[in-house]
Structure 1
Amino acid sequence: MNKTDRMLAIVIELQRKGVLRAEDLAAKFETSIRTIYRDVQALSEAGVPVAGAPGVGYSLMEGYFLPPVSFTAEEAVALLIGADFVEMRLDAEYGAKACSSQEKIEAILPENVREETERIRSTIRLLNERGAKTRGQEKETFEQLRQAILRKRRVRFRYSKNLPDPDGYRHSERTVDPYGLVFSQGVWMLVAFCGLRRDIRHFRLSRMNELAVLEDPFRIVPGFRFQDHRPVDDRNVTVRMLVDQAIADRVQESDNFYMESFAPGEEGWLATFRVRRVEDLLQWTLGWGAAVRVLEPESLCERLREEIKKMLGRY
């Protein structure tokens, strides 16, 4: 990064963060503290009102805003594609905001940059096919939860969960404190404090029904930070399967969430998974038919035999 770019970046960082020490800026831009001192001096001489307080750091004087900055074609493409994703995956309100943001970005681009941006965008697509777009009901759930999170209001819903029960699933009513929404492995999940379990839990939006936003306010559990939260990995069951060479590429492309490794062997490809319970892989394994053979654990083999017997009874 040259001096001019770094000085502009310093102003942007101060505008974003408010107050930053020279040490923070030096670490951010991978340069020396002395270089930051010189850059700040140059900014002051250029008329940028940078204030410095010993032991506190640098800040921009109140009321100063950086004039609109220009985008490179690549930066503009990143923003426009991001807006496409928001329109596809979030609720109608954010979808409309994404469209208006695209129009504003395109309007301020110089003609040469706009043409290059259009050329690059023409080579990238976000397919809006069946299953690729968040379903209507899920979008409504997302919008309700987003509003509840912002207002800090509890929500209540019926939740369906696959379990090794005779009917294969179970419904339960949950009242939770919604903390945030996470998009992972193509699935929207709610991170919330569950009143039933008295702990932080994760709920798939696609499994929620009869959602209601309550008027009861809530407080976040002391010490909890949504941005730092990582779910406990409780997948303690190891599953190994032998995959025929003929379908190895398709199995790998399936990008199964539980797959830990996929390596070639003498008799085929060895797939290793970690799951909470063997039922997590039951339907997936059946879908590949005889081209996949379970090596361990025996409990999954037994469940497959039971399921195949049920299938034979129907046919």
Structure 2
Amino acid sequence: MNKTERQLAITLELQRSKVLRAEDLAAQFETSVRTIYRDIQALSEAGVPIVGAPGQGYSLMDGYFLPPVGFTAEEAVALIMGTDFIEQRLDSLYGSVAKTSRRKIEAILPEPVRFESTRVRETMRLLHTSEPVTGIKERDYLGEARRAILERRKLSFTYQKTLPESDGNRKSRREVAPYGLMFIQGNWILIARCDLRQDIRHFRLSRMTELAMLEEPFLVPPGFDLSRYRQKDDRNLQVLVRVNPEIADRILETGNFYMESTEERTDGLLFTFRVRHPEELLPYVLSWGGNVEVLEPESFRCRIREEADKILKRY
């Protein structure tokens, strides 16, 4: 980013924010505080009404706005592909908004930029299908959860876990205080405090049924910040799997959440997984068939053998 581009970007940031410190701007634009001081001085000399408050930062004088900003072809592509993603992954309200936003962006682009952005877009595509990438039910639940978060109202739903509880049931009714939504590895996850567990839990929208917004309000705890929130990693059990190198790429491409490391050995590749319960890894190991061998723990080796016996009996 050259000096002119940086100074324009600084003005846009000041227009978007109330007050910004020179240190914050320097970190954002990866430059020195001294350079930011020079940029602010140059902008002021050019007639941009920047107000500096000692100990607080810089702001634009009330009522000052930049004229409409043009987009390069690359910037236009980024915005338009962003609307494609929103249309595919968010609920119907934002899907509709994404369509109108895309039309507006395309309408205001100068002809040369529109032509170039179209040419660039044709070389890059997000997945398009006849059906929404996010399932119809999941999209409806996404909209309902989003409204509950904004209105600070609790949600109720039936949730199906991958593993059964101690009583053998996989389904349970939950009432939760929804704090936010996260898109993780292709799945929408609700971050919420569960009344049943009395703690923050993660819930996949795709595993919910009978979702309903309740009248009961809730308060987000002071200091909770979704952008900084990190789930406690309680995957304490290590699973070692020897893998035939011929399918190693296939396993790596899955981006498996439980995968921790790989190591080359003379007898194959050693994959290390870390899980809460071995059963979480069972469907993956079975899908890899005879190209893998579980080395540890022994109890999981026995579990794989039991499933193999069941399959053999069926055939």
Output one character per residue of 1:224-251: Cα deviation in whole Å (capped at 9) or x when no partner: 2111100000011111111123322222
SS at 2:281's partner residue?
A: helix
d(CA) in 2 for partners of 1:287 and 1:182? 28
SS at 2:170's partner residue?
A: strand
**Contact 2:190–2:202 (CA<8 Å) still a contact in 1?**
yes
Q: 1:78-117 residue pairs with structure 2 within 5 A? A: 78-117=78-117
Output one character per residue of 1:90-121: Cα deviation in whole Å (capped at 9) or x when no partner: 11110111111111111121222111111110
Change (3 A) 1:45 1:281: same
1:119: which partner in 2?
A: 119
Identity %: 60
> Please, what TM-score do these two structures have when normalized by structure 2?
0.93
SS at 2:86's partner residue?
A: helix
1:227: which partner in 2?
A: 227
Which amino acid counterpart does residue 206 of structure 2 have in structure 1? S
d(CA) in 1 for partners of 2:34 and 2:250? 55
d(CA) in 2 for partners of 1:98 and 1:119? 21
1:298 offset after TM fit, Å? 0.9
Deviates more, 1:261-270 or 1:197-206: 261-270
2:299: which partner in 1?
A: 299
1:240: which partner in 2?
A: 240
d(CA) in 2 for partners of 1:259 and 1:132? 29
**Contact 1:258–1:274 (CA<8 Å) still a contact in 2?**
yes
1:138 partnered with 2:138: yes
1:209: which partner in 2?
A: 209
| Matched pairs, number | 315
1:289 offset after TM fit, Å? 1.5
Which amino acid counterpart does residue 7 of structure 1 have in structure 2? Q
SS at 2:64's partner residue?
A: coil
d(CA) in 2 for partners of 1:80 and 1:90? 15
1:281: which partner in 2?
A: 281
2:24: which partner in 1?
A: 24
1:290 offset after TM fit, Å? 1.3
SS at 2:220's partner residue?
A: coil
d(CA) in 2 for partners of 1:157 and 1:232? 24
1:181: which partner in 2?
A: 181
Output one character per residue of 1:188-245: Cα deviation in whole Å (capped at 9) or x when no partner: 1000011111111100111111001001111012322111100000011111111123
Deviates more, 1:246-255 or 1:134-143: 246-255
Q: Which runs of 5+ in 1 are unaligned?
A: none
**Contact 1:162–1:168 (CA<8 Å) still a contact in 2?**
no
d(CA) in 1 for partners of 2:167 and 2:198? 27
Q: Which runs of 5+ in 2 are unaligned?
A: none
Change (3 A) 1:247 1:28: closer
1:257 offset after TM fit, Å? 1.7
Deviates more, 1:161-170 or 1:275-284: 161-170
Which amino acid counterpart does residue 300 of structure 1 have in structure 2? F
2:53: which partner in 1?
A: 53
d(CA) in 1 for partners of 2:146 and 2:21? 35
1:258 offset after TM fit, Å? 1.0
d(CA) in 2 for partners of 1:312 and 1:22? 68
SS at 2:188's partner residue?
A: strand
Output one character per residue of 1:150-183: Cα deviation in whole Å (capped at 9) or x when no partner: 1111000000002256997611111000010001
SS at 2:51's partner residue?
A: strand
2:255: which partner in 1?
A: 255
2:5: which partner in 1?
A: 5
1:19 offset after TM fit, Å? 0.8
> Please, what TM-score do these two structures have when normalized by structure 1?
0.93
Output one character per residue of 1:282-307: Cα deviation in whole Å (capped at 9) or x when no partner: 11111121111111111111111222
SS at 2:310's partner residue?
A: helix
1:272: which partner in 2?
A: 272
Output one character per residue of 1:106-156: Cα deviation in whole Å (capped at 9) or x when no partner: 112122211111111001111234998111111111111011111111000
Which amino acid counterpart does residue 209 of structure 1 have in structure 2? T
d(CA) in 2 for partners of 1:304 and 1:3? 61
2:41: which partner in 1?
A: 41
Which amino acid counterpart does residue 105 of structure 1 have in structure 2? I
**Contact 1:51–1:59 (CA<8 Å) still a contact in 2?**
yes
**Contact 2:164–2:170 (CA<8 Å) still a contact in 1?**
no
Change (3 A) 1:82 1:275: same
SS at 1:20's partner residue?
A: coil
Over the residues paired in the alignment, what is the CA RMSD in angstroms? 2.1
d(CA) in 1 for partners of 2:286 and 2:32? 59
d(CA) in 2 for partners of 1:146 and 1:261? 36
Deviates more, 1:50-59 or 1:224-233: 50-59
Which amino acid counterpart does residue 9 of structure 1 have in structure 2? A
Deviates more, 1:10-19 or 1:202-211: 10-19
